[in-house]
Amino acid sequence: PWQTVYWWFRRFTRRLLFQTIHDIALMLDRERQGREASPTGGVLDSQTVKAPHAPDGGGYDAAKRTKGRKRHVAVDT
């Protein structure tokens, strides 16, 4: 029954088990690849994506002279 699934979901969410499972899986995967369990640094970057018909008009990147949206990404080293 959906009530049972929902009950377990709420229980896991309240106890932060989803985040814990994610963190442990990430650490195990990094160690399996021969890296440290936790990243020691990170890199931030952004990119302007052309979107002339974006909702709300989009934005304008004066440095690149491009109308569109900015998207950002963060990766570990």
Three-class SS state of 62: coil
Q: What's residue 60's pLDDT?
A: 72
Asked if the model's pLDDT at residue 45 lies above 80, the reply is: yes
> What is residue 38's DSSP assignment?
S
Give the pLDDT score at 68.
79
Which of 74, 10, 5 has the alpha carbon at shortest distance from 43?
74
- Among the residues of the chain, which ranges form H helices? 2-14, 17-32
d(CA 42, CA 58): 28
pLDDT of residue 32: 95
